């Protein structure tokens, strides 16, 4: 049983979240609180497994409370945020400060039932996280300077190469670590990170300021060109179109796949059909199995594939699933993945096995 405390100044939101979570037999909401001061005492009293925390509250905002919690009483926190620019910025700050997931409090394309599924999924993912270990991984990632540009080390990269990456819980830090290690003239990169709508735009802007390549949230219709990285917006699936370079991106609605929209499998399967053996793909930290089957389809074209290892994964779910079904040609620690992507992208295309 996953024991949850909900902290939100809105009684309506507290009630909706409590009903949604209590509907799952694996979850019990043990307390709700209207502010951080009440929450502090309830957390000590009930010792929950997960806290769902509003980011914008009176008396003490959620980010300030989160930082205090991580210092004195670290445990998995799911941030609940509105879709304003300020809300998305604060949510990303919260992820950097120790929160493990973020959910939206409105404005989504997801119908009510699917929105509840998303909340349940993220609470369950958060419950798997060892917060002290997660924070140690994040601290090491931030403290490590990005590797020197790798292009000269691995030779000229063919113009038809494509890099595809999928990630979920723990992926914001993992993606930054990987992208910081890529040179400004890397092959085009397409990414699905499980994240609500609106947050992906702010996430892309933040990465763009910290990395050599040009990083943006996909809008649909983009040509995939060297030195450009595109992150799929929340609430849309992203597919790669075309049989030869330059490939293009298309955004689509549609049902959830593996409980997600965007889905890594949707992206990876389109990549297998389009760039095929000219692809290098990586599946990073996250709960569940999204992306594993798509990674296998990519590998079966003769492409090169990587899964993040257990030691550096915040949640070793998606990578483990990929490894177990034979989708991973290589299993690498996070700090080695950017270099491995460039090394493999520089090698000759192999024929499918």
How do the pLDDT tens digits run along the chain, 353 residues long?
999 999 999 999 999 999 999 999 999 999 999 999 999 999 999 999 999 999 989 889 999 999 999 999 999 999 998 767 788 899 999 999 999 999 988 654 555 556 678 899 999 999 999 998 888 887 776 666 555 554 445 667 888 999 999 999 999 999 999 999 999 999 999 999 999 888 999 999 999 999 999 999 999 999 999 999 999 999 999 999 999 999 999 999 999 999 899 999 999 999 999 999 999 999 999 999 999 999 999 999 999 999 999 999 999 999 999 999 999 999 999 999 999 999 999 987 776 65
* Per-residue pLDDT, 154: 64
| Region at 179 (left for phi over 0; alpha for psi -120 to 50; beta for the rest) | alpha
Distance CA 195, CA 169 (A): 9
Rounded Cα distance between 285 and 164, Å, is: 14
Q: Residue 197: what pLDDT?
A: 85
The DSSP call for residue 317 is S
Any catalytic annotation for residue 260?
Answer: no
Whether 2-127 and 143-345 share one fold: the answer is yes
What local confidence, expressed as pLDDT, does residue 81 receive?
87
Provide the pLDDT for residue 198. Answer: 85
pLDDT at res. 143:
61
Q: Which of 88, 168, 313, 346 is catalytic?
A: 168
Q: Which of 8, 49, 56, 194 is catalytic?
A: 194
Kindly name the residue from 35, 49, 236, 290 that is annotated as catalytic: 290
Q: What is the pTM of this model?
A: 0.93
Q: Count how many residues are written for the chain.
A: 353
Let me know if domain 2-127 sits in CATH 3.40.50.11540: no
Q: Which residue has the tokens 């604060």?
A: 90
Superfamily of domain 143-345: Methylesterase CheB, C-terminal domain (3.40.50.180)
Domain ranges in the chain are: 2-127, 143-345
Is the Cα dihedral 79, 80, 85, 86 positive or negative?
A: negative
Clarify whether 168 is annotated catalytic.
yes
E strand segments, 92-155: 101-104
Q: Which residues pair with 286 in a beta bridge?
A: 316
Quote the pLDDT of residue 142.
62
Q: Kindly give, in sequence order, each residue whose CB lies less than 8 Å from that of residue 30, ignoring residues fewer than 6 positions away.
A: 3, 4, 5, 46, 48
Partners of residue 308 on adjacent β-strands: 332
Instruction: Tokens for 117, please give them.
Output: 């599924």
């Amino acid at each position: 049983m996953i024991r949850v405390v909900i902290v939100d100044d809105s009684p309506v939101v507290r009630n909706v979240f409590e009903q949604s979570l209590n509907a799952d037999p694996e979850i019990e909401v043990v307390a709700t609180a209207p502010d951080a001061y009440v929450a502090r005492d309830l957390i000590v009293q009930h010792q929950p497994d997960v806290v769902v925390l509003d980011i914008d509250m009176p008396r003490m905002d959620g980010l300030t409370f989160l930082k205090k919690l991580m210092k004195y009483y670290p445990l998995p926190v799911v941030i609940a945020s509105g879709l304003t620019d300020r809300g998305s910025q604060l949510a990303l700050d919260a992820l950097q400060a120790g929160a493990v997931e973020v959910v939206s409090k409105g404005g989504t394309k997801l119908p009510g039932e699917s929105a509840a599924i998303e909340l349940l999924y993220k609470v369950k993912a958060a419950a798997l996280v060892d917060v002290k270990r997660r924070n140690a991984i994040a601290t090491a990632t931030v403290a490590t300077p990005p590797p020197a540009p790798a292009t000269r080390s691995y030779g000229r990269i063919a113009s038809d190469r494509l890099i595809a990456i999928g990630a979920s819980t723990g992926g914001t830090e993992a993606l930054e670590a990987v992208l910081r290690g890529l040179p400004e003239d890397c092959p085009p990169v397409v990414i699905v990170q499980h994240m609500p709508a609106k947050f992906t735009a702010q996430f892309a802007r933040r990465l763009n300021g910290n990395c050599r390549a040009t990083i943006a949230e996909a809008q649909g219709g983009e040509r995939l060109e060297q030195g450009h990285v595109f992150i799929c917006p929340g609430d849309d699936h992203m597919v790669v179109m075309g049989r030869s370079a330059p490939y293009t991106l298309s955004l689509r609605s549609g049902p959830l796949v593996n409980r997600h929209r965007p889905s890594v499998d949707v992206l990876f399967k389109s990549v297998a059909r389009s760039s095929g053996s000219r692809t290098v793909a990586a599946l990073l930290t996250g709960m569940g199995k999204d992306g594993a089957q798509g990674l296998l389809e990519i590998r079966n074209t003769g492409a090169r594939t990587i899964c993040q290892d257990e030691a550096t994964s915040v949640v070793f779910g998606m990578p483990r699933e990929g490894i177990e079904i034979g989708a991973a040609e290589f299993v690498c620690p996070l700090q080695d993945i950017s270099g491995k992507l460039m090394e493999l992208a520089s090698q000759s295309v192999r024929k499918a096995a």
